[in-house]
C-alpha cells in the first residue's frame, strides 16, 4: 500500500503555506511569488525556518531533476523518437494496400480520436508529475502496474528494434564497393538458382536469350532466385530451417550490433543535456536524405505510375473493416504510444511549458512525414516495377522486406548505385538510431526514478545505461545466429505488438479519466499551461479513445493468426507459447499489480480504494499551485515517503 508522510522540511513548508493563506505559489516562468519572504529559487525566509521544496530535496540528497536546455531539444527528441522506420516502411505500404488516398480518411480520423489525445496525455502526465514511466503513476498509485507494463514493453522494443539498425549498418558498410554485392550472382553465398534477369514479360516462345547463363526456359526463370534475396537470406541472415535450429553466430553481424550499441550508449549516458543536442542531427538529416531521394526518384522512368498507385483512391475499401483497423493500429505504432518514453521526455520539460501546443505540432510532423515518405518510396518502387516489367503489386512490400530487399534492389538498378545505397542506409540508420536511444533514455529514466535520493551516487546514470545496453546486447546475441530472424519475429509480433500497445493505451485513458478524474487532470493542465485545453480531449480520454482502443484490441484478438515466416514456415507450438509469454509479461502487470495492492491493504474495499488511489505528490507540486487552490488541499500535499519520492 502506498504511504504518504511529511518529512520535517516539507512539514515546515506546509505550515508556512497554511499560516499564509493570502500567499500562494504561482508559476511565472523562472521565479515564484513571495510567501512571507523570497521564493525566487531560494529558501523561504520565515520564522519557522521553512525552505522551498526544491531546496529541501537538495538537502536530503535528491538531485534536482534535469530540464531541457531549450524547449526545441524536447521537440526534436520527440520527433526523433516518434518519427522512425514505421513512417517510412509501413505507412506507404498500408496506404497502397488499403485504397490509396482513401486510407487517409480513417487515418486522419484516428489521429483525432486516439493519436493526439493519448500523445498529449502521456507528455502532459510526465510534465505534471516530473517523473518517468513508473513514478508518473503516483497520480493513482493503485495502477502503478501501468508503469511497469510500459517498462517491460519498451525494454523488449529496445532489445529487438536495434537489430534493424545492425542490419542497416551492415548494408551501409557493404555499400562502399564499386559493385554492390547484392546485385550479382558471382558471390560465394549465391546458389545455382541465382539469376540476374528480372524481366518476366520478355519470356516469349518458351526461352529467353542473351543471358550470361545461356538460354533459360520460362520454367527455369520462375524457379530462379534474385541475388538480393540470396544476399539477405544466405549472407546477412544465413538463415536456418527453423526456430529449433539456432546455428552459429554471424560474427560480422555481431560486430555491427556491438558498434550500434556503443553509439546508443554514448548518445544516452550523460542524460537529456547531451541527448537533446544529438537529436538535432539524427532527427533532421533523414529529411535531407528523403528530399534528395524524392528528387532522384521522380526523375526515374516509371516513377509517375508508382506515385499514382500510392495515392489513387479506391472508394470501395472504406467498407472493409481491415482498412479501419490498419489505420488505427498504424497511429499507435507511429506515435510511439504506450512505451513510457514520451512520459519520460515530458518529465524534463519546465512545469509551465505549453505541452498542448507541442502535441499538435508533433502529431502534424509525424503524420506529415509518413505521407511524404510514401512519395519517396513509391517513386522508387514504380521505377523498379518498370525496370523488371512487372506490376507494382509484385514489388510493393512492407517492413524489413522493403528496407532490405525491395529498396536495395531498386538502387542496384540506378546509375552510381553505391552512392544511392549509402544514402538510403544512412537515412535508415539515423531514423532508427534516435528512436532507439530515446527508448533507452525512457527505460533508464523509469529505473532511476525508483531509487530514492539516499541511494544516489556519482555516475549512477552512466552505470545504469551501461547495464541496460549490456543486458539487451546479451539477449540480442540470439538474433545474430542463423535462427536469429525467427527470434526477431517473435519479439516483433508479440512483445511490442498492436495488442500490447492498445491494452496499455486503454488503461491509461481509464485511469486518468475515471480514477484520477478527467476534469481534475484538465485543471492540472490549466495550472501548467495557463489555459484549459479544448473539451474534446476530456471527451476522448473518457469515452471515445478507450472504446477505439478496446474495439481494435478485440478485433486483433478475434482475428489472431499463428505466426509464420515468409508465409511458409509455421512456428512450433512452443514458439507461440514463448511469444504469448512475451505479450502477457507486460499485459498482466496491470491486473496483477492491482490485485496485489488491494489484497495487501487494510480496511473495507472502499477504504482500500480511496487510500490506494490518493495521489502521492512531489515536492514541485508544493511550489506550483494555482492561486484559486483550496488551502486545505494545499496543506494536504505531501511528497510521500522516500521510497515514493519523485526525483
Point out the least confidently predicted range of 202-211, 570-579, 612-621.
202-211
Residue found by looking up cell 554492390 in the block: 180
How confident is the model over 451-473, as a mean pLDDT? Answer: 82
Cα–Cα distance for residue pair 472/444, rounded to 1 Å: 13
Residue 465 to residues 212, 262, 265, 513, Cα–Cα distance (Å): 53, 11, 7, 34
Q: What is the mean pLDDT of the chain?
A: 80
The burial of 259, by beta-carbon neighbours within 10 Å (0-12 exposed, 13-18 middle, 19 or more buried), is given as middle
What are phi and psi for residue 32, nearest 5 degrees? -135, 155
List, for residues 343-385, the tens digit of each pLDDT value.
988 998 988 899 999 999 999 999 999 889 889 888 888 888 8
83 is in an annotated binding site: yes
Residue found by looking up cell 515530458 in the block: 346
H/E run at residue 208: strand 207-208
pTM over 0.85: no
Cα–Cα distance for residue pair 513/519, rounded to 1 Å: 8
Coil, helix or strand at residue 613: coil
Shortest CA distance to 622 belongs to which of 609, 613, 631?
631
Shortest CA distance to 208 belongs to which of 192, 228, 222?
222
H/E run at residue 502: helix 498-510
> How sure is the predictor about 646, in pLDDT bands with cuts at 50, 70 and 90?
very low
Are residues 365 and 122 in contact, defined by beta-carbon separation less than 8 angstroms?
no
Query: Where on the phi/psi map is residue 99: left (φ > 0), alpha (ψ -120 to 50), or beta?
Result: left
87 is in an annotated binding site: yes
Coil, helix or strand at residue 216: strand
Task: Give the torsion through C-alpha atoms of 492, 276, 342, 76, to 10 deg.
Answer: -90
H/E run at residue 217: strand 216-217
> How sure is the predictor about 213, in pLDDT bands with cuts at 50, 70 and 90?
very low
Residue found by looking up cell 530487399 in the block: 405
Point out the least confidently predicted range of 39-53, 139-153, 287-301, 519-533.
39-53
150 is in an annotated binding site: no
Query: Domains of the chain (ranges plus CATH)?
Result: 71-200+217-605 (1.20.1740)
Coil, helix or strand at residue 601: coil
366 is in an annotated binding site: yes
347 is in an annotated binding site: no
Which of 457-461, 492-496, 630-634 is most confident?
492-496
Cα–Cα distance for residue pair 248/234, rounded to 1 Å: 13
The burial of 622, by beta-carbon neighbours within 10 Å (0-12 exposed, 13-18 middle, 19 or more buried), is given as buried
**Positive/negative CA dihedral, 521, 523, 527, 532:** positive
> What's the pLDDT score for residue 273?
67
> What's the pLDDT score for residue 59?
44
Strands (E), 413-530: none
> How sure is the predictor about 540, in pLDDT bands with cuts at 50, 70 and 90?
very high
Q: 215 vs 602, which has greater pLDDT?
A: 602
Neighbouring CB atoms inside 10 A of 112's CB total 14
> How sure is the predictor about 280, in pLDDT bands with cuts at 50, 70 and 90?
confident
> What's the pLDDT score for residue 336?
86
Are residues 351 and 529 in contact, defined by beta-carbon separation less than 8 angstroms?
no
How confident is the model over 215-244, as a mean pLDDT? Answer: 78
Residue found by looking up cell 533514455 in the block: 441
82 is in an annotated binding site: yes
- 317 pLDDT more than 90: no
Q: With pLDDT > 70 as the criterion, what percentage of the chain qualifies?
A: 80
> How sure is the predictor about 290, in pLDDT bands with cuts at 50, 70 and 90?
confident
Amino acid at each position: 500500500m502506498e504511504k504518504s508522510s511529511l518529512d520535517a522540511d516539507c512539514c515546515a513548508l506546509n505550515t508556512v503555506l497554511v499560516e499564509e493563506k493570502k500567499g500562494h505559489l504561482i508559476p511565472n516562468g523562472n521565479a515564484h511569488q513571495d510567501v512571507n519572504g523570497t521564493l525566487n529559487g531560494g529558501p523561504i525566509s520565515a520564522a519557522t525556518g521553512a525552505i522551498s521544496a526544491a531546496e529541501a530535496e537538495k538537502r536530503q540528497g535528491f538531485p534536482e531533476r534535469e530540464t531541457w536546455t531549450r524547449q526545441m531539444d524536447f521537440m526534436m527528441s520527440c520527433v526523433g523518437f516518434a518519427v522512425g522506420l514505421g513512417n517510412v516502411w509501413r505507412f506507404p505500404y498500408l496506404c497502397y494496400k488499403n485504397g490509396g488516398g482513401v486510407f487517409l480518411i480513417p487515418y486522419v480520423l484516428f489521429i483525432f480520436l486516439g493519436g493526439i489525445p493519448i500523445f498529449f496525455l502521456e507528455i502532459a502526465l510526465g510534465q505534471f508529475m516530473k517523473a518517468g514511466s513508473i513514478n508518473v503513476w503516483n497520480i493513482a498509485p493503485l495502477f502503478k502496474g501501468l508503469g511497469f507494463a510500459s517498462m517491460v514493453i519498451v525494454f523488449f522494443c529496445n532489445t529487438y528494434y536495434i537489430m534493424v539498425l545492425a542490419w542497416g549498418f551492415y548494408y551501409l558498410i557493404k555499400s562502399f564497393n564499386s559493385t554492390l554485392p547484392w546485385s550479382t550472382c558471382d558471390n560465394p553465398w549465391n546458389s545455382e538458382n541465382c539469376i540476374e534477369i528480372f524481366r518476366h514479360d520478355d519470356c516469349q516462345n518458351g526461352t529467353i536469350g542473351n543471358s550470361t547463363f545461356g538460354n533459360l526456359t520460362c520454367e527455369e526463370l520462375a524457379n530462379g532466385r534474385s541475388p538480393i534475396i540470396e544476399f539477405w537470406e544466405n549472407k546477412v541472415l544465413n538463415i536456418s530451417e527453423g526456430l529449433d535450429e539456432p546455428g552459429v553466430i554471424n560474427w560480422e553481424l555481431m560486430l555491427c550490433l556491438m558498434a550500434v550499441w556503443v553509439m546508443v550508449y554514448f548518445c544516452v549516458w550523460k542524460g537529456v543535456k547531451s541527448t537533446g543536442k544529438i537529436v538535432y542531427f539524427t532527427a533532421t538529416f533523414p529529411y535531407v536524405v528523403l528530399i534528395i531521394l524524392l528528387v532522384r526518384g521522380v526523375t526515374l522512368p516509371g516513377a509517375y505510375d508508382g506515385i499514382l498507385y500510392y495515392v489513387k483512391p479506391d472508394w470501395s475499401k472504406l467498407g472493409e473493416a481491415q482498412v479501419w483497423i490498419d489505420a488505427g493500429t498504424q497511429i499507435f505504432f507511429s506515435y510511439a504510444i504506450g512505451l513510457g518514453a514520451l512520459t519520460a521526455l515530458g518529465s524534463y520539460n519546465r512545469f509551465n511549458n505549453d505541452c498542448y501546443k507541442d502535441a499538435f505540432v508533433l502529431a502534424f510532423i509525424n503524420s506529415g512525414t509518413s505521407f511524404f515518405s510514401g512519395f519517396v518510396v513509391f517513386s522508387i518502387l514504380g521505377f523498379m516495377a518498370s525496370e523488371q516489367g512487372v506490376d507494382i503489386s509484385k514489388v510493393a512490400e512492407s517492413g524489413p522486406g522493403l528496407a532490405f530487399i525491395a529498396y536495395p534492389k531498386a538502387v542496384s538498378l540506378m546509375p552510381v548505385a553505391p552512392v544511392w545505397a549509402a544514402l538510403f542506409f544512412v537515412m535508415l540508420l539515423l531514423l532508427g538510431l534516435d528512436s532507439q536511444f530515446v527508448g533507452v533514455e525512457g527505460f533508464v529514466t523509469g529505473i532511476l526514478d525508483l531509487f530514492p535520493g539516499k541511494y544516489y551516487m556519482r555516475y549512477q546514470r552512466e552505470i545504469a545505461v551501461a547495464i541496460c545496453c549490456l543486458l539487451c546486447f546479451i539477449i540480442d546475441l540470439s538474433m545474430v545466429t542463423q535462427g536469429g530472424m525467427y527470434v526477431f519475429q517473435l519479439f516483433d509480433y508479440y512483445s511490442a505488438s498492436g495488442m500490447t500497445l492498445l491494452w496499455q493505451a486503454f488503461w491509461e485513458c481509464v485511469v486518468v479519466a475515471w480514477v484520477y478524474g478527467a476534469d481534475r487532470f484538465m485543471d492540472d493542465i490549466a495550472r501548467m499551461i495557463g489555459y484549459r485545453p479544448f473539451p474534446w480531449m476530456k471527451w476522448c480520454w473518457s469515452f471515445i479513445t478507450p472504446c477505439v482502443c478496446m474495439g481494435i484490441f478485440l478485433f486483433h484478438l478475434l482475428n489472431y493468426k499463428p505466426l509464420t515466416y515468409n508465409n511458409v514456415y509455421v512456428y512450433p507450438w512452443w514458439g507461440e507459447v514463448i511469444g504469448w509469454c512475451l505479450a502477457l509479461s507486460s499485459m498482466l502487470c496491470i491486473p496483477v499489480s492491482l490485485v496485489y495492492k488491494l489484497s495487501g491493504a487494510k480496511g473495507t474495499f472502499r477504504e482500500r480504494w480511496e487510500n490506494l488511489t490518493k495521489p502521492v505528490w512531489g515536492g514541485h507540486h508544493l511550489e506550483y499551485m494555482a492561486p484559486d487552490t483550496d488551502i486545505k488541499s494545499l496543506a494536504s500535499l505531501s511528497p510521500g515517503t522516500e521510497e515514493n519520492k519523485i526525483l
